Amino acid sequence: MLGEGIIQGLVETARNFFGSYVEKDRLTTVQYPEERLPLPEASRVFPFLLYDGKDPDAGLRCVACQICEKECPPRCIHIEKSKDKKPDFVGKMQVYPAVFDIDVSVCMSCQICVEVCPFDAIRMDKVFELSTDNRFRKLLYTKKELSKPNEYYQKIHPLEAAETDERRAKEAEEAKAKAAAAEAAAKAKAAAAAATPPVGEASGNGAAAPAKLAETKGSPQ
């Protein structure tokens, strides 16, 4: 009959109207600032620098190798190397970045810097509410703003962080074992040298140090 469909439609909208006050799951809207959906594990917005321990200066993993700076497609990373060195997580002396800037107005969140970093020093962040009233200074993130602890990384990307931490722990373990072995070998050599009359006395320490360096360099990253 003429008009039947109209009545069906009116019933449907009336059901929606009253139902939306009764059944909460009818309303699919997430009221954003108050309610948030959890972000997926793989979500990423702009890179940040990781540091171990409590002190961002001492624990910063970055060794200012500048690979990320060279690989960055939009060239948003700026690094200046330091003049002095500090020990890294395996105890080796490394250069660190005196200046590390990322211009997030240029960054396109491509994650290439993360993929090329051999030191697990740069990772993608998840924060996205970064709007600011100053488009020049406040969009240029300095080393201080970029440095975030490893615990933060474990919180935002738990799976990735667990994998990285495991690998790094193993590497540190291996490095320690190798150092211990090298030390033992050096000691044995020294003992042997002490037992037998000296042929070349200076070679004892001098031979151990280059060997250790070579082993560390050869370890997989």
Partner 1 sequence: MISARSADQVFVALDHWIVGHVPAPFQTLASIVIAVAMIIVVFAALFALTTVFERKGLGRMQNRYGPNRVGPWGTFQPLADAVKSLTKEDVVPHRADHVVHYLAPLVLVGVVFLSYAVLPVGRNMIAVDLDTGVLYFFAVGAATELAVFMAGWSSHNKYSLLGAMRAIAQMISYEIPLILSSVAVIMIAGTLSTVKIVEEQARYTAGIAHWNVITPWGLAGFILFMIAATAETNRSPFDLPEGESEIIAGYFIEYSGFKFALFFLAEYIEMFAVSGLAITLFLGGWSSPVSFLAWIPSWLWFFGKLLAMIFGFIWVRGTMPRLRMDQLMNFAWKFMLPMTLIVILSAGIWRFLSPAVVGPRPLGGVIRWLVCALVIFAPYILLARKLERGHSMEKRTYRFAE
Contacts of 219 (CB under 8 A, 6+ apart): 171, 174, 175, 178
CB 164 within 8 A of CB 52: no
Burial 189-221 (b: 16+ CB within 10 A, else e): eeeeeeeeeeeeeeebeeebeeebeeebeeeee
Cα distances from 206 to residues 179, 186, 213, in angstroms, run 15, 10, 12
Q: Is 39 helix (H, G, I), strand (E, B) or coil?
A: coil
Q: Is 64 helix (H, G, I), strand (E, B) or coil?
A: coil
Interface characters, 27-66, with partner 1 (x: CB under 8 A): xxx-x-----------------------------------
Q: Give the nearest distance from C-beta 111 to partner 1 in angstroms.
A: 35
Residue 87 interacts with partner 1 (CB under 8 A): yes or no: no
Directed axis angle between helix 203-218 and helix 158-195, to 10°?
160
Total residues at interface with partner 1 (CB under 8 A): 19
Q: Give the nearest distance from C-beta 17 to partner 1 in angstroms.
A: 5
Interface characters, 4-33, with partner 1 (x: CB under 8 A): --x--xx-xxx-xx-xxx----xxxx-x--
Q: Give the nearest distance from C-beta 40 to partner 1 in angstroms.
A: 25
Stretch that binds partner 1, among 2-10, 50-58, 152-160, 194-202 (CB under 8 A): 2-10
Q: Residue 22 or 195: which CB sits closer to partner 1?
A: 22
Q: What is the binding site for partner 1 (CB under 8 A)?
A: 1-3, 6, 9-10, 12-14, 16-17, 19-21, 26-29, 31
